[in-house]
Structure 1
Amino acid sequence: MKHPDPGNTVSKNQLTEISIIYEMKPKVGQFFDDRIIRQQSTHGTPCRICVHTARPTLAKNRQLTAGKPMAQPVNKAHTTTNRLGLRGNACLIGGLLLLMSPVVAGNQPTEILRQTAMSFLQAQTAKRADQEVEISIGRIDRRLKLVTCEKTPAAFLAAGAKLQGKLTVGLRCAGPKPWTVYVPAQIKIFAEVVAATQPLLRGRKISTTDIMFVRQELSQLRNGYFIKKDAVIGKVLTQNLAAGNAITPKQVKAPVLVRRGEKVAIVAAIGTLKVRGKGKALEDAALGELISVRNSQSKRIIQGVVTRPGVVNVQM
């Protein structure tokens, strides 16, 4: 096949204009066969990619116009067939490249990773019979390409992680090409907690009519909560409380059983022997709290634990 002479030009009605973009500067007299070039049609048809043989110019990135038409007549049917064949070959090559790519051949499906993380968290929270657990697994970037694990990836949590609120689940594959990925998750635990039935003022001693159960998401109760009414009945509020609000340990305290200046009975235990005396409380104290007491007889200050109203036990 003859190459067109760059020194001549051809009218647009005779030949379609060919534009060749070179990626590198060719040498003088060098020919490039089977190069991929862009063909721009002058008859309004869309541009397409085809294979053509042409003589390069000396300058880089220069447009080249084909010369005179070949002496032999062009068989249009044969040309069309060749172009269709080239397109078919291009499609075939593209398909083979796609099949050989790692994206198609053995990537770990992200949905399997999410299911593995879900099963792991369900097993970790299965023992909470008195609570309702809701688990949600976050999205995994589908562009993440991981080699398919031969076995189910091992799930784990970071040291000290709590099984509530937002967290991440680690998935580790120990295959020939090991990998580790972290999956975002959230655990919501709902339970019936003790709350106020009405507005309650600071210093109020809580009774059974002051409290009720309400369903709460536990991760939102960062200051703690009570799940039994007996744990708060008889205690005193340390701050005002709105109706419907859950009661936290910091909002209540045990009632004062011994007040400062009151006379108290001092009970000292020495083995099986108990010695009783009298004293004066130097501070307020609730049940189980440590209190300072002045012995009425010796005038010594000793410390003991309040066991009931007006009684302080001292260990000898």
Structure 2
Amino acid sequence: MIRRFFLCFLSVVFLTPSVNAESLQALAGIEQTAYVFAMNDAQAYYDNPQVIVDAMDKRLRLQACSGDLEAFSTSNANTVGKRTIGIRCLAPIEWTVYVAVQVKVMRPVVVAAKALSANQTLKASDVKIVMQDISDLRQGFLLSTNKVLGQQLKYPVALGTALTPRSLKQQKVVQRGEQVILVAQAGSMEVRMNGMAMEDAVLGDKIKVKNNSSNRVVEGVVQAPGIVQVTM
């Protein structure tokens, strides 16, 4: 991409040495074309995106295009962060230049409200919501505190750091050998039995449990600490 840019740049500068000011392509128009193209792309995927266009080199001399400028990109339309937009003219002299833009998308994300330690179980006072540019959050982000409360950190996190799905581990709410309540639905009736967990589990896990009355091993889904939903 860089090599191609310089080839295009050199061809524009050195092949049009006699172009006068009146027949030069306005760089502001090129920048505006890049802006509109990048903004349209971003708006197809995000609400209220921001597009910042890097100013072009004012020494660039381009023959004025007799037709509409054509914009294109080799990156995905939903790319946030830095993008390169190509601007092409076909007549009277064919040329192509590349304009650097940055796409920003602000979102309310979950961050650490204080310095947090590894294996810490998160509570409401440990986190807060702040607006951040998600183009800077390459490791991912979380939009709701409900997704993190009760979970544990895999590693220490500094104040203000955005929490990511990879930084969290769910806290085990059932331990192997623990006595649990087996809950089964029989029509409109709910039946509860005592059982023993055969393995560790977090919320939503499917685990094996032993019914204390029948000694039968069944599978169920952990619904809450010490509660396993089973099918009769």
TM-score by length of 1: 0.54
CA contact (8 A) 1:121 1:135 kept: no
Q: How far 1:306 moved relative to its partner?
A: 1.0
Partners in 1 of 2:160 and 2:25 — Cα distance?
Answer: 48
- Which stretch of the first structure deviates more once superposed, 262-271 or 194-203? 262-271
Residue in structure 2 matched with residue 201 of structure 1 by the alignment: 117
Q: Which has the higher contact order (CA 8 A, sep 6+)?
A: 2
Match of 2:67 in 1: 150
Of 120, 124, 128 in structure 1, the residue corresponding to residue 47 of structure 2 is 128
When structure 1 is superposed on structure 2, of 294-303 and 238-247 the one drifting more is: 294-303
Candidates 167, 173, 196, aligned match of 1:251: 167
8 Å contact from structure 1 (residues 234, 255) kept in 2:
yes
- Output the CA distance in 2 between the equivalents of 1:271 and 1:102: 88
Could you tell me which amino acid in structure 1 is paired with residue 223 of structure 2?
T
Indicate the SS of the match to 1:167. strand
Are the counterparts in 2 of residues 225 and 247 from structure 1 also a CA contact under 8 Å?
Answer: yes
SS at match of 2:173: strand
Within the alignment, does 1:103 sit opposite 2:15 as a pair? Answer: no
| Aligned counterpart for 2:197 among listed residues 273, 278, 281 | 281
The structure with the larger Rg is 1
The answer on 1:163 being equivalent to 2:79 is yes
Cα deviation digits, residues 127-157 of structure 1 (max 9, x gap): 534xx7351335368557466141242x344
Ranges in structure 1 where 5+ consecutive residues have no aligned partner: 1-99
Conserved 8 A contact 1:196-1:243: yes
Rounded to whole Å, the distance in 2 between the matches of 1:301 and 1:172 is 69
Per the alignment, residue 12 of structure 2 pairs with: none
Give the Cα–Cα distance (whole angstroms) in 1 for the partners of residues 111 and 72 of structure 2.
Answer: 36
Q: Which residue in 1 is equivalent to 2:135? A: 219
How far the C-alpha of 1:122 sits from its partner, in A, is 3.2
Deviation at residue 258 of structure 1 after TM alignment: 1.6
Identify which of 204, 210, 217 aligns with 1:294.
Answer: 210
Correspondence 1:257-276 to 2 at 5 A: 257-268=173-184
Q: CA deviation at 1:295?
A: 4.2
User: Kindly tell me: are residues 262 and 175 of structure 1, through their superposed partners in 2, closer, same or farther at Cα, counting changes over 3 Å?
Assistant: farther
Aligned Cα root-mean-square deviation (Å): 3.7
Residues 117 and 137 of structure 1 are in contact (CA less than 8 Å); yes or no, is this contact kept in structure 2? no
In 1, the alpha carbon distance for the partners of 2:63 and 2:182 equals 73
Instruction: Work out whether residues 161 and 167 of structure 1, in 8 Å CA contact, stay in contact via their aligned partners in 2.
Output: no
Which of 134, 152, 155 lines up with 1:239 in the alignment?
155
SS in 2 for 1:225: coil
Which amino acid in 2 is paired with 1:114? E
1:139 counterpart residue number: 56
In 2, Cα distance between equivalents of 1:137 and 1:270? 66
Q: Is this contact kept in 2: 1:200–1:240, CA < 8 A?
A: yes
Instruction: Pick the aligned partner of 2:30 from 109, 113, 117.
Output: 113
Unaligned 5+ segments in structure 2 are 1-15
Q: CA deviation at 1:199?
A: 2.1
Give the paired residue count: 214
Deviation at 1:208, TM superposition (A): 2.3
Percent identity between matched residues is: 35
Paired position in structure 2 for 1:187: 103
